[in-house]
Amino acid sequence: MQDNLEWIRNNKTNKSTAFTKDEKKTLGLEGLFPYQTSSQELQISRVLQNLERKPNNIEKYLYLSALQARNERLFYRVINEHIDELMPIIYTPTVGEACKSFSHVYTEAKGFYITPEHKGRILDILNNWPSKNIKVIVVTDGERILGLGDLGANGMGISIGKLVLYSACGGIDPSACLPVMIDVGTNNEELIHDPLYLGVPERRISGAAYLELLDEFMEAVTQKYPGVLIQFEDFLTPNAFALLKRYQFKYRCFNDDIQGTAAVALAGVICSTRITHLPLTENRFLFLGGGSAATGIADLLVNSLVLNGLSKENALERIYICDIHGLMTTDRTDLQPHNLPYAKSSPASTFLETIQHFKPTVLIGATGAGGAFTQEVIEAMSAINSRPVIFALSNPTSKAECTAEQAYTWSKGQAIFVSGSPFANVVYEGKTFDPGQGNNAYIFPGLGLGIVAGGIEHVNDELLITAAECLANLVENHDLDLGALYPPIQEIRSVSLAIAKAVMLKAVQQGLSSIDPSTIDQRIQEELYDPRY
């Protein structure tokens, strides 16, 4: 007979106060709980009341994390039914604070850690993970967590958080999800000298040693879990591009910072054309920031513009990129390979000068530098455009290029604003604006669900564009009237299912999936996790 306490210790079987009298008797749990039996609905009410008592968001995050560890189904039922208010708690911006303090607030084992000491043994130690049917892995090496930089092993909070969203928004069974930290050290001296830091307290390995460890990891997980989807998260830009190029067509994988961010931004841009009435191919795009997110968006924009009729040369002409040194030009010697297609032969100029010369219709910030969009910048965009499109995508909130209130105030209510982190509604001269959040959660859970359910071989740009177009088509006119370029976050589960279906259909058309299109709905339903008791 199973140890009676195992029903309580196992977060997948524990129902806590929802065990009925008959279940308590049958399972040997009599006397272990109070008299009353609570419905799951009543338990949800209790959880929400307890959340209200918490003094700040990090305490709410820790409370929910503890709930997940002891009663997984209740955790996901709460998240599913209150995603609009809890998304900022379980992910950005609170997850950034949780990562910074990860080693200091660590309580229970969640996720899988691989270090250089495991080289040559990764396949063997994967046997230590209890679940054998892994379908989705989110992996990071912690070197560029959000806009916070190198957090080393503390970055595990990102992998954990992303997979929570895979289950809550995309319906992937939590037992089929594996968060992974490739802990190759950290160059953050503060962490190295922190006695409570839980990661490898040495400087990062790089070069051949780094790639050999990643190669072994990719081979081991695909051997251990055939068909697994691997999502790369928060790698430093050069590594992010190098690893994507190395693995994209060899394994079932994608990089969310490059490709997920690109798809959600493209969806927002497509939606903005319904307000500006300017066709996508007639827009001009200026980026501030030349990292993985910005270049990923630019690359996907180019391919979308080409699909909409422009030559690649003309598409590239419509995209300018500035960084901390100003406009990226062909005479600069400090550009990364992924930046070179966007380098212009124009004279060197500052960010503001580039706005005045190039006259962009869409401004996209992916800098990790809070306040980079100054009043002068927003006013310059507003002088050029009757409805300037402003994307301040850096997160957490403290890293946003400008706030929603600043964008609306400085543009005199004309800006079409999107941010990476959530902002509250803004009232300007009697009009209420509901700023949209360009949250990758609109894309990656549905994309991942489609890849898993459809057995899609690899992720190419046409699949990402399909996901973006699907998302854009789900935005209603009344959302646009409020300035929102994305559907309400509480609709994200249905959004994910629609994206999964669209991606699967496109993959079949491209020969990337061999499934019968008539089985798509059934295949999606078979993957969906139900957290109800």
Q: Average pLDDT in the 404-413 region? A: 98
Q: Other CB atoms closer than 10 Å to residue 62's CB: what's the count?
A: 16
Q: Which residues are catalytic?
A: 91, 162
Distance, in Å, from the CA atom of 201 to the CA atom of 193, rounded to the nearest integer, reads: 7
pLDDT confidence of residue 30: 95
pLDDT confidence of residue 92: 87
Q: Average pLDDT in the 325-347 region? A: 94
Closest of 507, 513, 296, 509 to residue 393, by C-alpha: 296
Q: What is the CATH architecture assignment of 94-251?
A: 3-Layer(aba) Sandwich (3.40)
Q: Average pLDDT in the 58-70 region? A: 97
Percent of the chain with pLDDT over 90: 96
Q: Average pLDDT in the 129-133 region? A: 94
Residues 411-453 pLDDT 10s: 999 999 999 988 999 999 999 999 989 999 999 999 999 999 9
**Could you give the 3-state DSSP secondary structure of residue 315?**
helix
The pair of three-digit structure tokens given for residue 13, joined into one six-digit string: 């079987």
- Amino acid found at 271: C
List phi, psi (to 5°) of 328. Answer: -75, 115
Answer whether residue 401 shows pLDDT above 70.
Answer: yes
Give the angle 80-85-88 at the CA atoms, nearest 5°.
Answer: 100
Fold agreement (94-251, 286-303+312-430): yes
Distance, in Å, from the CA atom of 17 to the CA atom of 24, rounded to the nearest integer, reads: 10
DSSP 265-333: HHHHHHHHHHHH---GGG--EEEE--SHHHHHHHHHHHHHHHHTT--HHHHHHTEEEEETTEE-BTT-S
Q: Average model confidence (pLDDT) for the chain?
A: 96
Options 1.20.1370.30, 3.40.50.2000, 3.40.50.620, 3.30.565.10; CATH for 6-89 is 1.20.1370.30
Answer whether residue 206 shows pLDDT above 50.
Answer: yes
Specify whether domain 286-303+312-430 bears CATH 3.30.70.890. Answer: no
pLDDT confidence of residue 7: 94
User: Is 480 within 8 Å of 275 (Cβ atoms)?
Assistant: yes
pLDDT confidence of residue 2: 54
Q: Other CB atoms closer than 10 Å to residue 51's CB: what's the count?
A: 18
> What number of helices (H) and strands (E) belong to the chain?
24, 14
Residues 240-270 pLDDT 10s: 999 999 999 999 999 999 999 999 999 999 9
Domain ranges for the chain: 6-89, 94-251, 286-303+312-430
Closest of 247, 194, 259 to residue 221, by C-alpha: 247
Answer whether residue 1 shows pLDDT above 80.
Answer: no
Residues 166-195 pLDDT 10s: 999 999 999 999 999 999 999 999 999 999
Residues 6+ apart with CB under 8 A from 401: 288, 365, 367, 369, 370, 371, 372, 373, 392, 393, 394
